[in-house]
Structure formats: C-alpha cells, structure tokens
Chains A and B, each alone.
Chain A
Amino acid sequence: DTGVSQDPRHKITKRGQNVTFRCDPISEHNRLYWYRQTLGQGPEFLTYFQNEAQLEKSRLLSDRFSAERPKGSFSTLEIQRTEQGDSAMYLCASSPTTSGTSNEQFFGPGTRLTVL
C-alpha cells in the first residue's frame, strides 16, 4: 500500500439514482477527508473523519450526501437521488494526526462522477 486508493475511478449514472464511492486511506492515517472538485476550481471540503468519528460536515453537503467510516479505516461517500449538479470529481485524502510540522494531506486519484 503506497497511497490512497479510490473506487470506482469513473461512474456514470442517471439522474435520480444513488451512487456510493469508496476510499481506502494510507494505513494508520487517522484522518480522512472528502472533497469535491469541479472544472477550473480547487477542491471544496465536504467532510472529515478522525478515526471513525465524523467531526465536520460542510454546508455544501446536503442531506442527500452521507459519509461513513465504520471501522476507522476505509470510508464510503453515498449520494442519493443524484442531480446533474453533482457531476464532479470526488477526492479523498488522508493524513496522520500529527506529521512533524506538517498536516500534509495525501490525495487519492479521485472518482469522476457524471450524472446524465
């Protein structure tokens, strides 16, 4: 395991369907983050976990979005009743609780969602 992995890498779905993405962080990283990125923009924070506890949710995260990290390792992000505006790249990142003077986040390759 050399990095953060995400599955699937690409997802095409029809409006109104539910989708679920998975993120496997770097082993022993306590913190896990989800971001959404649209073309020409930087990543927007969605939510983050410290171990299995979800410590913060962005106001961007409507009630159609839910994230879990049940055992403090991998995480899932579910979007219910998808809308065309949900089309974006969904990035996962992880970091150790402390990393010297850095809180560097290591990003996965992302899941690109297209809602038709």
Chain B
Amino acid sequence: GQNIDQPTEMTATEGAIVQINCTYQTSGFNGLFWYQQHAGEAPTFLSYNVLDGLEEKGRFSSFLSRSKGYSYLLLKELQMKDSASYLCAPHGYKLSFGAGTTVTVRA
C-alpha cells in the first residue's frame, strides 16, 4: 500500500524560502512527483524525481532520497501566487497523492 506524510500547513512571507518535506512508503517505486494545486483548480505538474539528489527548476527545487523514502520541495523567492496546496505523489505501481501541504504566502 501507500503511506504518504507531509505537513498540513505552512506559512511564510513574500521573498522567503519554504521547504516542504514528504516521507512515503510505497509498493514499488518508479519516481516521485510534486504537483501544485490552487484552490478549486486541478493539480499542475511541478517536478519529477527518479534518481537521488536535487533537481532544480527555476525557483522550485525537489530532492529525493530513495533509501530514506524522503523527498522535499523547496520554494525560493516566494511570491503571493505561490499560495497553494503542494501535493507529494510517489509513483509506485500507481500514482498516489499525499493530502497536500497548504502554503500561505503573506506580504
């Protein structure tokens, strides 16, 4: 089965850095996705990690440690539009989503 744990909420100020941690247990492992979901909208793809290490993509970076069942999403230079829910989704034999971390960015 799938067991995914990420914090429920985080708050930060504009321009700051936020790190969202995710631990998981999956049946098989093919990679890990991070999705962003604004309230009332569909999830949109942010990143995909297959191998251990850090993947950087602009202001967003994602890290994976397969042996530890651990990933994090790093959001830098926070902007108001980054206020959203961030979903950790390990890809075992199917894709499973965590409950999401709601990030609130304050001015």
Contacts and interface: CB of A to CB of B under 8 A. Distances in A.
A43 B97 CA distance: 6
Main secondary structure, interface of A, reads loop
A108 B42 contact: yes
Contact of B99 (A35, A40, A91, A102): A40
Interface residues of B, number: 21
Interface stretch (B10-18, B62-70, B73-81, B87-95): B87-95
B98 A103 contact: no
Interface residues of A, number: 21
Contacts of B87: 42-43
B25 interface: no
A105 interface: yes
Nearest to B50: A101
Given A101-B48, A103-B30, A107-B43, A45 B95 contact: yes
B95 A105 contact: yes
A28 interface: no
A41 interface: yes
Interface of A: 33, 35, 40-45, 48, 56, 91, 101-110
30 contacts: A33-B95, A35-B97, A40-B99, A40-B100, A41-B99, A41-B100, A42-B4, A42-B87, A42-B97, A42-B98, A42-B99, A43-B87, A43-B97, A44-B97, A45-B95, A101-B31, A102-B31, A102-B48, A103-B30, A103-B31, A103-B91, A103-B95, A104-B45, A105-B33, A105-B45, A105-B95, A107-B42, A107-B43, A107-B44, A109-B41
